[in-house]
Structure 1
Amino acid sequence: MQEILKAIEEKDCKKVATLLYNKVDSLEDEELKEVLEKAEKLAIECEDFELYKLTTYYFHEILGIDKVPEFEKRAEEKETFDAKFQLADLYYMIGELEKSLELYRALLEEETAKGNLEHVGRIYYNIALVHEELQEYDKSLQLMEKAEEAFRNLGDEEDLLRVQIHHAYVKFEAGDTYEAKAMLAGLLSKIIDKRDLIVEVHLSFEEIFEEDEDYDAALQECLYAMLFAKGTDYEEIAFGSLMDVLWQLFLEDDFETIYLNIDMFSSAFPDMKDFFDAVKAIALFKDDKMEEEEVSKYVEKVTDQRQIDLLELLGEAEL
Structure 2
Amino acid sequence: MEEIMKALEMKDAEKVAELLYYKADELEDEELKEVLKKAEELAKEKKHHELYKLIAYIYQEFLGVNKISEFEELAFSEDTFEAKFHLADLYALTGEIEKALGLFRELLEEETAKGNKENIAKVYYSMALAHEELAEYDKAKELMEKAAKAFEELGKEEDYMHALIYLAYLKFESGEVSEAKADIAKLLPRIKDKPTLMAQVHLVFEEIFEDEENYDAALQECLYAMLEAREGEYLDITFDALIDVIWQLMLEDKFDVIYENMDMFSNAFEDLREFFDGVKAIALFKDGKIDAEEAKKALGKIKDPRLLDLVQLLGEAEF
1:294 Cα deviation after fit = 1.3
In structure 1, the partner of 2:159 is 159
1:173 Cα deviation after fit = 0.7
Residue 177 (1) aligns with residue 184 (2): no
Residue 133 (1) aligns with residue 136 (2): no
**Deviates further, 165-174 or 30-39:** 30-39
1:163 Cα deviation after fit = 0.5
- Give the Cα–Cα distance (whole angstroms) in 1 for the partners of residues 29 and 136 of structure 2: 36
Cα shift readout 1:202-238 (whole Å, capped 9, x = no counterpart): 1111111111111101100100011111120201111
- Give the Cα–Cα distance (whole angstroms) in 1 for the partners of residues 53 and 109 of structure 2: 23
Q: Which amino acid aligns with 2:234?
A: Y
1:101 Cα deviation after fit = 1.1
1:317 Cα deviation after fit = 7.1
Q: Which amino acid aligns with 2:65?
A: I
In structure 2, the partner of 1:274 is 274
Counterpart mapping for 1:142-153 below 5 A: 142-153=142-153
Residue 33 (1) aligns with residue 33 (2): yes
CA shift in 2, pair 1:167/1:226, >3 Å: same
- Give the Cα–Cα distance (whole angstroms) in 1 for the partners of residues 128 and 54 of structure 2: 21
In structure 2, the partner of 1:313 is 313
- Give the Cα–Cα distance (whole angstroms) in 2 for the partners of residues 192 and 15 of structure 1: 27
How many residues end up aligned between the 2 structures? 318
In structure 1, the partner of 2:255 is 255
Q: Which amino acid aligns with 2:39?
A: A
Is the 1:172–1:180 Cα contact (8 Å) retained in structure 2? Answer: yes
1:241 Cα deviation after fit = 0.9
Is the 1:274–1:301 Cα contact (8 Å) retained in structure 2? Answer: yes
1:77 Cα deviation after fit = 1.7
1:190 is paired with a residue whose SS is: helix
- Give the Cα–Cα distance (whole angstroms) in 1 for the partners of residues 306 and 34 of structure 2: 20
2:256 is paired with a residue whose SS is: helix
Residue 116 (1) aligns with residue 139 (2): no
In structure 2, the partner of 1:68 is 68
TM-score by length of 1: 0.97
In structure 2, the partner of 1:5 is 5
Counterpart mapping for 1:185-200 below 5 A: 185-200=185-200
Cα shift readout 1:273-299 (whole Å, capped 9, x = no counterpart): 111111111111111111111112211
- Give the Cα–Cα distance (whole angstroms) in 1 for the partners of residues 310 and 259 of structure 2: 16
- Give the Cα–Cα distance (whole angstroms) in 2 for the partners of residues 33 and 209 of structure 1: 40
Runs of 4 or more, structure 1, over 2 Å off, are none
- Give the Cα–Cα distance (whole angstroms) in 1 for the partners of residues 262 and 172 of structure 2: 27
2:45 is paired with a residue whose SS is: helix
In structure 2, the partner of 1:50 is 50
TM-score by length of 2: 0.97
Identity of aligned residues (%): 60
Is the 1:169–1:180 Cα contact (8 Å) retained in structure 2? Answer: yes
- Give the Cα–Cα distance (whole angstroms) in 1 for the partners of residues 113 and 177 of structure 2: 37
- Give the Cα–Cα distance (whole angstroms) in 1 for the partners of residues 5 and 90 of structure 2: 24
- Give the Cα–Cα distance (whole angstroms) in 1 for the partners of residues 178 and 29 of structure 2: 43
Is the 1:169–1:204 Cα contact (8 Å) retained in structure 2? Answer: yes
Cα shift readout 1:147-204 (whole Å, capped 9, x = no counterpart): 1121111111111111101001110111111111111121111111211111111111
RMSD: 1.2
In structure 1, the partner of 2:20 is 20
- Give the Cα–Cα distance (whole angstroms) in 1 for the partners of residues 192 and 120 of structure 2: 27
